[in-house]
A and B are shown apart, each in its own frame.
Chain A
């Protein structure tokens, strides 16, 4: 994974895992790699990897079972909420780019529909 050096590494790995959870690549209840393995997979510092899980847990996206490891949350509602959050964020980013280009919201919506027809 290529990191953006301006953004905290833990945040970038957290976002990558969130995308995996929402997309179903890491389904609800699945065991996540241990902290050290996560560090090796992403070539990141183990402390950073530990931070990733802390933050995911804080957001209710994963749970640590003592002695067993870390698991993706089993709560479909929480995952659905995450999907909404991420989608909203993507739309916000999209719209702000459009507004820079001088494209109004209605125009943008029309363009999206047109794109779908193709």
Chain B
């Protein structure tokens, strides 16, 4: 098991953003982390990335609580753009190369070639779609053990989504764990093999998708509507 969340709770003021989530994620799987905005997906991912400290409980990477060591092996991509304003596309790659041993500049360039991004572009001037692609390219150019991508399809047009799915699948080997959050459930039906549903900070279930389809005759989207339908209206 690569990532394990033990009774993890995070309070923001008096609000329970994550409420006692216990969860085990194994390598060799692509997990879809599902739930509406504000359900705690992002907060949980940030705790697994070591950016946010849990109020109680621990997230462990290969048995030890997330730390500087785990950051070497966990590639995290946040929803929001986070690069420094002065950076060009090239600077972003150099920065990752400076700090992550598993980063390959060559692979970064290869991934950039699939997009309309060029190294001289200023990140400040990028459209949201281009920024989304840049974030994915620089994150996937790492040869990490765990990839956590928060809303990788956000702001990306339909055609480019296919490319991104293909890139993601290239990295989905037996040795790796991929965790993708999205509210675009349909985008994940075929590439994820397991789904983790989170509602109001709590874990609803962690299921094998094909089992769910054959046993209950439900799609991921059906299950999504079933779980969140009442609260989302």
Contact = CB atoms under 8 A, between A and B. Distances in A.
- Verify whether A and B have any Cβ pair under 8 Å: yes
A3 to B, nearest CB: 5
A113 B213 CA distance: 39
A3, A6, A45, A47, most chain B CB atoms within 10 A: A45
Contact of B191 (A5, A6, A7, A44): A44
A5 B169 contact: no
Contacts of A45: 30, 169, 172, 190-193
A5 B186 contact: yes
B210 A8 contact: yes
A39 B169 CA distance: 7
B214 A43 contact: no
Nearest to B214: A8
A44 to B, nearest CB: 5
A37 B189 CA distance: 19
B29 to A, nearest CB: 7
Contacts of B165: 43
A98 to B, nearest CB: 25
B140 to A, nearest CB: 15
Contacts of A10: 210
Interface string B197-222: 00000000000011001100111111
Given A45-B191, A46-B173, A5 B210 contact: no
Contacts of A7: 213
In terms of DSSP, what is the predominant structure of the interface of chain A? helix
Please tell me the size bucket of the interface on B: 20 to 34
Interface in B151-187: 162, 165-166, 169-170, 172-174, 186
Contacts of A46: 169, 172-174
B138 to A, nearest CB: 22
Contact of B190 (A6, A9, A36, A51): A9
A58 B191 CA distance: 24
A5 B193 contact: no
Nearest to B185: A5
Given A6-B222, A7-B213, 10 more contacts: A3-B189, A5-B219, A5-B221, A6-B218, A8-B210, A9-B190, A39-B169, A43-B166, A45-B191, A47-B193
Interface of B: 28-30, 162, 165-166, 169-170, 172-174, 186, 189-193, 209-210, 213-214, 217-222
30 contacts: A3-B189, A5-B186, A5-B213, A5-B219, A5-B220, A6-B218, A6-B219, A8-B213, A9-B189, A9-B190, A11-B214, A39-B172, A43-B162, A43-B165, A43-B166, A43-B191, A44-B169, A44-B190, A45-B169, A45-B172, A45-B190, A45-B191, A45-B192, A46-B169, A46-B174, A47-B28, A47-B30, A48-B190, A48-B210, A51-B210
Interface of A: 3, 5-11, 36, 39-40, 42-48, 51
